[in-house]
Structure 1
Amino acid sequence: MRRLTVFSAALALAAVTAGCADTSEGGGATTPGDPADCFSQRPIELVVGYDAGGSTDVGARMMATALESKLDATINVVNRPGAGGQVGLTALANAQPDGQTMGTVNFPSAIVSVLDESRQAAYDRNSFAPIGLQVIDPSAVAVRPDSPIRTPTDLVEAALAAPGRLQATTTGPASNEHFVLLELERVTGATISPVHFSEGGAPATTAFLGGNVDLLLANVSDLTPMAANGEVRVIGVFGDERSPFLPDVPTFAEEGHDVEVASSRGYAFPAGTPQECVTAMSEAMGEVMSDQEFIRKMQDLGLAPSHKDAEAYAQYWTESTEVFETLLPLVRAER
């Protein structure tokens, strides 16, 4: 089985610079990783590269609230949507590396925007210091409740019968959803036309609900509340097993269509942020992610918890980059 489960991002953490701790001769050196030294001077800005109300934004706001309590700090969430997260990542990369600005990092978009030269990203993976991972979220596909398509096999057969006639939403070229369509075609021969919404999932969902697009491709966390409200019928999940949030929905793999795609959501500082501040934030995030009440709240919102600390997240980023270097030819071939 070819797995496209999207790993997440890596880079060497920046060397410690003066800022969080006074280590000068004769000065009273502070304890490395003390949150009071890094984050109590002024509010922290958390840049979210997607629209308010989406799953990335919801998870980030939950994390911000929990971290405020852990760090005795103020964290302001600022939405900077656009270009599949690239606008927010650019703002994060250009921020002062003083521990006062952090941001969401979504894969595959953060990796692909660097690997795809046509995106002309003003950053690369060395522009960020990873903090930690919060979510790994499989992709899934939904139809309107009155659609005759009810299963993954129904979808494949319909697309084979009329190549390119069915249309599906994506959040932009080389996005997670785009890779779903390309890999589905590679594995099954079924051609589905992408309709790209680079501003994010909200306009894609609006277009689908308005009857302008046949299929809504999104993460399980985005589709679960809509399915519960009867707005959509989720017909298949691109995971290695059924989602606990949608236990009655089959995977494509279990029906013989071996396509697995997921996204991940984590956090980073701009490169050059003092190491003790990175460590302090990563440790605080680890405490949050070990809180069973916090995990329960995430799950209630359809967010699949998956934690990695700064070091493990950095390695995950490296592995993800290697994976997507092999997948980008599919995008280029479509162009």
Structure 2
Amino acid sequence: MKVKITATVVAVATALAACGAQQSGGAAGAWPRKGKPVTLIVAFAPGAAVDAAARVVAPVLERELGTNVEVQNRPGAGGQIGYTALTKAKPDGYTIGATGSPSVVVSPLDPSRGATYTRQSFLPLGMQVLDPMLIGVAPDSPYKDLKSLIEAVKAKPKSVSVTTTGVQTGEHFALADIQQKTGAEFAPVHFSEGAASATAAFLGKHVQGYVGNVSDVKDLVAQGKVKVLGVMAAERSPFLPDAPTFAEQGYQIEAATARGYSAPAGLPDEVRTKIEGALKKAIEDPAVVAKMKDLGLNTVYKSGQEYTTYWTEQEATVKQALPLVRNTKS
């Protein structure tokens, strides 16, 4: 039986072939659509290190993706508001977010937080930095070194108020670790909108001590506005070479904030590959690395898979410390 090939048959066959190509990867090839921007959600207020890092990466990411990347701040609840917005977004590649550990790790682990997302709601795309934590005081503080501060707080629990960027954030867990290993129970004051609010409160002398990241205080140290008593890292920070580590002073305490980027779970593999590749180029771009150094942030790139592994390991650590953190909310 002979089939008469008509223009209609050819048109239908062509359309079906195009549809099949689209389903097998053509959709990713067309992503992002011309003129459609990518929103990059930052779960903290402008001025925080996570916001600064995202704004440094965004222009290079725009170049690599060929479309605008718009940074959108969604601060509050120690990052939970922004993370909720990220995980509720359609997983089509047009919404990604900056994710900071352990805040993004812990919020779904505590039922009292009422998080609408779980660990599986996120698809890690890549890690950018590890930012060590520290504790600092005003230059005229009576505490001249870490030991004098620790001993004073041990003698009188909750006698010294210190900042965090929210309940169950990295600073909060660091304080719980200090309490567990030294017996010193500080009085945390939580600023859930981020480091900018915490810094303002500290500089205004509303809080006695500052617990945060190296990047938060690098410039303040240079200006003589804060004295760092200890950095929670194995080695001294290249950004604060005169600041001793906790380990140097006899306290085996290490803590850092890991910052990276994630998408809502369910992102098509082809789109994920495209975004992850663009992020790698942006994060490792020499100009971006240099700007990050100016901000006091050391680039430590990890791929999406490596970031996922790091996230899983940190989750196990957080689960162990969570009971103590729950008892030190204020």
Q: What is the TM-score of this pair, normalised by structure 2?
A: 0.90
Match of 2:13 in 1: none
Letter in 1 for 2:323: P
Match of 2:228 in 1: 234
Match of 1:127 in 2: 121
Superposition map of 1:163-178 within 5 A: 163-178=157-172
SS of residue matched to 1:147: coil
- Deviation for aligned residue 1:40: 3.9
Match of 1:4 in 2: none
In structure 1, distance between residues paired with 2:325 and 2:22 = 55
1:24 aligns with 2:14: no
- Deviation for aligned residue 1:37: 2.4
Distance 1:30 1:180, change over 3 A: closer
In percent, how many aligned pairs have the same letter? 45
C-alpha distance after superposition, 1:262-311 (max 9, x if no partner): 11111111111211111111111112233223211111111121111111
SS of residue matched to 1:114: coil
SS of residue matched to 1:327: helix
Match of 2:279 in 1: 285
Letter in 2 for 1:243: S
Letter in 2 for 1:234: V
C-alpha distance after superposition, 1:139-158 (max 9, x if no partner): 11111111132322222122
**Counterpart selection for 2:100 from 106, 112, 127:** 106
Match of 1:3 in 2: none
Report how many residues are paired: 313
After the TM superposition, which segments of 4 or more aligned residues of structure 1 sit over 4 Å from their partners? 26-34
Letter in 2 for 1:227: V
- Deviation for aligned residue 1:334: 3.7
**Counterpart selection for 2:41 from 28, 32, 47:** 47
C-alpha distance after superposition, 1:143-197 (max 9, x if no partner): 1111132322222122223322111111122111111211111111112111112
- Deviation for aligned residue 1:32: 8.6
1:222 aligns with 2:221: no
Match of 1:69 in 2: 63
8 Å contact from structure 2 (residues 32, 65) kept in 1: no
Distance 1:333 1:43, change over 3 A: same
Unaligned runs of 5+ in 2: 1-16
Instruction: Name the larger-Rg structure.
Output: 2
Superposition map of 1:83-94 within 5 A: 83-94=77-88
Higher helix proportion, which one? Answer: 2
In structure 2, distance between residues paired with 1:175 and 1:312 = 22
RCO higher in 1 or 2 (8 Å CA, sep ≥ 6)? 1
Superposition map of 1:1-335 within 5 A: 24-25=19-20, 34=29, 37-38=31-32, 40-334=34-328
Distance 1:293 1:199, change over 3 A: closer
Q: What is the TM-score of this pair, normalised by structure 1?
A: 0.88
- Deviation for aligned residue 1:33: 6.3
C-alpha distance after superposition, 1:25-58 (max 9, x if no partner): 3669657965x62364501111000001111100
In structure 1, distance between residues paired with 2:298 and 2:119 = 25
Calculate the aligned-residue CA RMSD, in Å.
Answer: 1.9
